[in-house]
Structure 1
Amino acid sequence: MNKINHQGVNSLVYGMLLQVKLHKMKRTQIIILLSPNEVRMIQMIDPQGTYSTYCDLTLIQDIQQKEQSKLKIINTKGEYIKFYFDSPFCLITFKEGLEYLIMEANRIQKQLDSYNQIWSNTLKLITKSDIDMDNKLNFKEFQYLIGELQIQITERKLIQIFEKGQKNNQLDEGSLYKLLMDITLRHELTELYQKYSSKKEGMFEDPLQAMLMTDKDLEQFYKIEQGQNDYKSKKKQYNFYDFQNVIFSDENTIFQQRVIDQSQPLTKYLINSSHNTYLETNQLTGESSCFAYQDAFKMGFKCVELDCWDGEDGEPKVTHGHTLVNDIKFKDVILTVRDFAFCKDNNPAILSLEMHCGLKQQKRIAEILKSILGDMLFVVKNYKQERFSTLQELQRKVLIKHKGDDNFLLEKLQINSSTLFFSQSQDDMLIQFDDEDQDIQVNVKQFNQTLDEHHKKICRELLEITSLYAVTLKLNNIPELVWIVSSVSEDKISDVIKKSQGKFQEYADNYFIRVYPLGLRFDSSNYDPFPSWIAGAQLVALNIQTKDLFMLQNYGMFLNSSYVLKSQQDIRMNIYLKIISATNLVWEEEKRRQEEIVDPYIKVRVAGNKEDVNKSEKWRTEVVQDNGYHPIFNYSCIIQLRYAQQDVIYFQAYSYSILGDSLLAQYCLSPLNLRTGYRTIPLLNSQFKPLHNSYILVHIKIEY
């Protein structure tokens, strides 16, 4: 933000009265103001002073404007606050002031994190814990603070810790700092720290033996242990807690970003693809919204689906037909595409149109696409082009996928007659093999009748801006057009691959194939995407509203990039993995977090090529009883992969129970993105949102 909205900032600093709906609470009047003790917190008090709560500005993940009078902010836990305004001017003023304060809060947080992460979090929580505002904490306030930090310590042990630092049954800021440093010390790193520390300053007691690390020591550590010759230290000296912060910083995670080759045709890549993107939940009664498209783009999905239907007001709509799903305007979806399609990266976006509109509203769809997307819209100039355009050539372009038309394509190719193109009458196709079985043959006469009816509804304006034409899949012929795509449902793809695997892979090397979920998945569940990916299908569409195991694997596959280049050679890897410890493994539900302490263990699994997957069932640590805050595992295993380019590795933290284990956290990535050395795995919750200060500490060595 280049210009500060002083009116908006002042209104929040000094307080303003608004209608507010807090997460899972009724709408009420609240006074909103910047906390006088902590500038990274917004305090909310009811006018009677009987209720008070805080909003952490550094945890705000998204600000959504609903109409001209509503604003919704969402934090990293998925909790929201809705604000209601009397005028658009009041909303804009408030929003700009809030955005500035959030920017400042994050700037301050970043500075404090470089000093000490635990302490920077504590400073905010003291504001919430210190009821009498004297900057001291009694035991109950200290216990509350420890709980908010998600440090799980039994009450008996916590009393012993409190007694060590209390004066007059209270902890001042200095005593609290010392206690927290003792609690958060990662003793599994002390030996490593001593090994590379060359300077004695007398700052620490045993077991650290008063050591200090110099900048050269740290650079030597990164060169030898982490395999990084280019690491540059940011300070001249590092005490143990500084070293600990370096290890647990975002710069030292297990994931290593790799540059992808953008010079290949688009058909050479696997593309992060979604199905029924407009849905927030199931396909029968679920909500549809433009926010679902926003979320998809923010997660890195590049192929999104739009089910287009005639709107009663002449404006086409997007919805799931013949169900209780609500409607959203097609125009609003395209505005969302324009604003968010390239928020993650500049790789091209594909809009897969499932068309149920009549000719008139199809023309309206073409008008909307051209007027809103403008130069973003990719239009085919050379229909006789022998290879699809490259990823580099299509940066920040939007491609339209729509049903093809025989006459239109033959005209563009200047061919009098051809049997290579058959338009689809539904979201499936005619599949032809050299040795066709009776159970997959199509009644050609019936198909042609349907085709004739469909031709009458073809909109030329829409065909002119289409760049991926849906046609039949005929593996025994080589198409004369590269701008085509064939769709196969998940229940048929295995038969297609099994009956003609070689031809399928050869076909998929030059032409697009899209795989989509079976229509009977009313609950929006998912299927295993790996058989289709391994066979070469570029667009394997999943229901992103369902965050299941298959969606986690999809997350890992496209973590590096929304486009993954299909590898032409097998990559063998031996991964020597040691799971050392973990931090803050807690229940996702807040109520359960307050009532139960977890008994954690870690599982490691491989998904992808069957030969690699079958070896991974045995990898899991022992259970650590009653310690989710800092369990030590020291578990080692060897992950042997023959086809690493086709695999992902995923980590899951569980809490053991005789009644059934519960998932606490998870993470997934490609083996090709692993970094060696002492690394942290930044854990995600069930909705793939980052868990604050929650990690697994591992050591990794790789042999090729």
Structure 2
Amino acid sequence: MSWTIVSILLLKPFERPLQRKDARLSYDGFLAYLLSPDGDIFNKKHHSVYQDMNQPLSNYFINSSHNTYLVQDQLVGASSIQGYLSSLRDGCRCVEIDCWDGPQNEPIVYHGKTLTSRITFRNVIRAINQEAFVISKFPVVLSLENHCSFEQQKTMARHLKNILGKRLLTTTLDGDVPHQLPSPSDLRERFLIKGKRVGSIKDDIRKYKSSMKGGTRVEKEEKQSQGASHKLQTVPEELSNLVVYMKSIHFNDLASAQAEQKCYMMSSLNESKAKKVSTAGGANFVSYTRSNIVRIYPLQTRIDSSNYNPVDLWNYGCQMVALNFQTAGIPMDLNRGFFRNNGRCGYVLKPSFMTDGHCKFSPDQPTFSGRKGVELGIKIISAQNIQFSRGDIVVRAEVHGVPDDNYTSETIPMENKCYNPTWNEVLYFTIRVPELAILRLAVEGRAFIIGRTLLGQVTLPFTSVKSGFRHAHLLDKDGSPILGSTLFLYIWYHSRMDLEQ
């Protein structure tokens, strides 16, 4: 096939019918191409699920929310069903539900011992069931912060089973004790409960198999032993049995966790403890997260529902790095940009060096066999439709990654003539671990009195960045597109690594 025919086929979608006279591309057609997904900075192949989804859950970063019911701060803010709906629409796959005793034996959800408003547990589960698999078909984890009495926990279990039905996982997929976690594909359109569990999965499976064979003697022995310890039991069997692959276990120290925890046990650590463990543990903490899921959450002292930098803990393989989705800022930009990858399905496969047991990777010492860094150049050419007339405009480029890959560089301030400033300025970066790097480009207005104002940003994993002349379509602080606002760039990088371009 000749180049002329190929050109016509490739360029045809970008031309108006009257302009398709030959293989040449008109000015309007060229502009249409540059502004299309083919000319976008984000690799359009990554808009779909393209990663292997058949590996154990522990091999994936999982988009996770903290205090999902809140739409404002955690002291006096409102609790709302909308928090769950918007988070799930944002690609979240792990939502948090704080459960407390409510009137008429109906559990309620709110931030305990505060002035936040209340919503019913039943309505929360109904909303989650309605929205859970609209954006993504991969599993949703319900992280229960359970503060309810024995009887109201039974009500919780009843609502979970009645509302979620067959999509609620109530036993292991193969009926045996798991030696590794199932994959996202294995658990498509299934709900998993994370919470406290009484007894072992092994005992419950033995009891289940015995009951299927009519083992009445075993059942009587089980009931007798349960009756003797019933007063000491804090979680009723009805709710306990719904916890299958995500049994909550207290984290004492890394050595004990590595020695004692099974793959279906997981711990939750606040950001402060997680950073201490990760810094001290290094490669050992990365090794621990190969088989065990770890959930990280913000400190309670963040009464304004602010967030920490999630990249610091993704670097150690922590799967569920939970953020306050209602709070705009750089941490949420990073979270949305990171999980924009792989079709926004909420699951991003870890790099192979984080899942390979033979590789001793630590983000503090990222050099290991076969590593080659990347030299990145970004020419900031111009911006379009930037609505700011009170001062100058700058473009700030940030790289977030392992400690050696954290950079910030910006253009010189430029007067915003006709809302289309031009720089033609080049920014350079060296990235040692590109698989964990995230690029954020922010357009800011700079005025003498009001300081800096965010006018738009785009955030994406470095492995999704396309080289060449590209447009970056800008988003506002909440992650919504700003109509017509773009950055025009030329991007190149030199690497011996295959980044699946």
Which interval holds the TM-score relative to the shorter structure?
0.7 to 0.9
Please give the secondary structure, in 1, of the residue aligned with 2:263: coil
- The structure whose RCO (Cα within 8 Å, separation 6+) is larger is 2
SS in 1 for 2:288: helix
Post-superposition Cα deviations, 1:479-504, rounded to whole Å, max 9, x if no partner, equal: 46322110111111122123323332
SS of equivalent to 1:313: helix
CA gap of 1:528–1:453, structure 2 versus 1, over 3 A, is: farther
**Contact 1:667/1:684, CA 8 A, preserved across alignment:** yes
Which amino acid is the alignment partner of residue 434 of structure 2?
A
| CA distance in structure 1 between the aligned counterparts of 2:440 and 2:294, rounded to whole angstroms | 27
Flag the 1:571–1:333 CA change in 2: closer, same or farther, 3 A: farther
SS in 2 for 1:333: helix
CA drift at 1:263? 1.4
2:63 is the alignment partner of 1:279: no
Name the structure 1 match of 2:444: 654
Alignment of 1:525-674 (within 5 A): 525-561=306-342, 562-569=346-353, 572-587=373-388, 596-613=389-406, 616-617=407-408, 619-627=409-417, 629-659=419-449, 660-674=451-465
1:233 CA drift (Å): 5.8
Separation (CA, whole Å) in 1 of partners of 2:426 and 2:416:
22
- With over 3 angstroms needed to count, the CA separation of the structure-2 counterparts of 1:373 and 1:642, relative to structure 1, is same
1:488 aligns with 2:269: yes
Question: Aligned to 1:412, which of 189, 201, 204?
Answer: 204
1:675 and 1:622 mapped to 2: Cα distance? 24
Q: Secondary structure at the match of 1:391?
A: coil
CA contact (8 A) 1:265 1:391 kept: yes
Which whole-Å CA distance do the structure 2 matches of 1:219 and 1:581 have between them? 30
Which residue is equivalent to 2:499? none
- State the alpha-carbon separation in 2 of the partners of residues 554 and 324 from structure 1: 28
- How many angstroms apart in 1 are the aligned matches of 2:412 and 2:267? 47
Do structure 1's residue 380 and structure 2's residue 171 form an aligned pair?
A: yes
TM-score, normalising length: structure 2: 0.81
In structure 1, what residue type is equivalent to 2:203?
Answer: E
- Per-residue CA shift, 1:61-105, capped at 9, x if unaligned? xxxxxxxxxxxxxxxxxxxxxxxxxxxxxxxxxxxxxxxxxxxxx
8 A contact 1:514–1:538 mirrored in 2: yes
Equivalent position to 2:289, from 493, 508, 513: 508
Deviation at 1:283, TM superposition (A): 0.4
- What does residue range 7-18 of structure 1 map to in structure 2 within 5 Å? none
SS in 2 for 1:412: helix
Q: What secondary structure sits across from 1:509 in the alignment?
A: helix
CA contact (8 A) 1:297 1:341 kept: yes
In structure 2, how many angstroms separate the alpha carbons of the residues matched to 1:702 and 1:689?
29
- Provide the C-alpha distance between the structure 2 equivalents of 1:629 and 1:453, rounded to a whole number of angstroms: 70
Alpha-carbon separation, structure 2, partners of 1:480 and 1:621: 50
User: 1:315-357: per-residue Cα shift (whole Å, max 9, x none)?
Assistant: 1111111111111111111111112112222121111000011
Per-residue CA deviations over 1:134-190 (Å, capped at 9, x if unaligned) read xxxxxxxxxxxxxxxxxxxxxxxxxxxxxxxxxxxxxxxxxxxxxxxxxxxxxxxxx
Unmatched 5+ stretches in structure 2: 208-228, 354-370, 496-501
Structure 1 counterpart of 2:187, from 385, 394, 398:
394
Q: CA deviation at 1:277?
A: 0.5
Q: Could you tell me whether the CA contact under 8 Å between 1:599 and 1:628 is conserved in 2?
A: no
Mapped to 2, the partners of 1:633 and 1:244 lie a distance apart of: 19
- Alignment-mate amino acid for residue 478 of structure 1: A
Quote the Cα distance in structure 1 between the aligned partners of 2:276 and 2:325: 25
**Structure 1 match to 2:487:** 696
Aligned with residue 475 of structure 1, among 254, 259, 265:
254
Letter in 2 for 1:687: D
Aligned to 2:99: 308
How many positions carry a matched residue from both structures? 435
Runs of 4+ in structure 1 deviating by more than 6 angstroms, as ranges, are: none
**1:253 corresponds to 2:40:** yes
Shift in Å at residue 649 of structure 1? Answer: 0.4
CA distance in 2, matches of 1:536, 1:322: 33
Assess if the C-alpha contact under 8 Å between 1:280 and 1:286 holds in 2. Answer: yes
**Residue deviations 1:332-383 (CA, integer Å, cap 9, x gap):** 1111111211222212111100001111111111111111111221233245
For residue 360 of structure 1, what is the aligned residue in structure 2?
A: 151
Q: CA deviation at 1:232?
A: 6.6
Give me the whole-angstrom Cα distance separating, in 1, the residues matched to 2:282 and 2:237: 36
TM-score (norm 1): 0.59
Kept in 2: contact 1:586–1:598 (CA 8 A): no
Q: Secondary structure at the match of 1:342?
A: coil
SS of 2:322's equivalent in the other structure is strand
- Would the aligned equivalents of 1:376 and 1:398 in 2 still touch at CA under 8 Å? yes
Aligned counterparts of 1:498 and 1:453: Cα–Cα separation in 2: 42
| Secondary structure at the counterpart of residue 103 of structure 2 | coil
Counterpart Cα distance in 2 of 1:323 and 1:628: 49
**Partner AA of 2:156 in structure 1:** I
SS of residue paired to 2:105? coil
CA distance in 1, matches of 2:29, 2:259: 62
| SS class of match (1:478) | helix
The answer for the alignment partner of 1:462 in structure 2 is 239
1:298 corresponds in structure 2 to 89
Partner of 1:343: 134
Secondary structure of the structure 1 residue equivalent to 2:135: coil
Residue 678 of structure 1, CA deviation: 1.7
Q: Which amino acid aligns with 1:566?
A: K
Q: Secondary structure at the match of 1:656?
A: strand
1:576 Cα deviation (Å)? 2.5
CA distance in 2, matches of 1:609, 1:502: 13
The structure having more radius of gyration, on CA atoms, is: 1
* Letter of the structure 1 residue corresponding to residue 410 of structure 2: R
Distance in 1, matches of 2:230 and 2:322, equals: 28
**1:43-442 equivalence runs, <5 A:** 217=7, 236-237=20-21, 238-256=25-43, 257-258=45-46, 259-381=50-172, 382=175, 384-405=177-198, 407-409=199-201, 411-412=203-204
**What's the secondary structure of 1:494's corresponding residue?**
helix
Measured after TM superposition, the shift of residue 555 of structure 1 is: 1.4
Q: Which amino acid aligns with 2:339?
A: F
Q: Aligned to 2:415, what secondary structure does the other structure show?
A: coil
SS at match of 1:401: strand
CA distance in 1, matches of 2:420, 2:309: 34
Tell me how far 1:218 sits from its aligned partner: 6.7
Q: CA deviation at 1:567?
A: 0.8
Task: State whether residues 346 and 396 of structure 1, in contact with CA within 8 Å, keep that contact through their aligned partners in structure 2.
Answer: yes
Give the letter aligned to residue 585 of structure 1. Answer: I
Q: Cα distance 1:241–1:572, how it changes in 2: closer, same or farther (>3 A)?
A: same
**Contact 1:571–1:645, Cα closer than 8 Å, also in 2:** no
In structure 1, what is the Cα distance between the partners aligned to 2:104 and 2:233?
Answer: 23
Over 3 Å counting, the alpha-carbon distance change for 1:330 and 1:339 in structure 2 is same
SS at structure 2 position matched to 1:245: helix
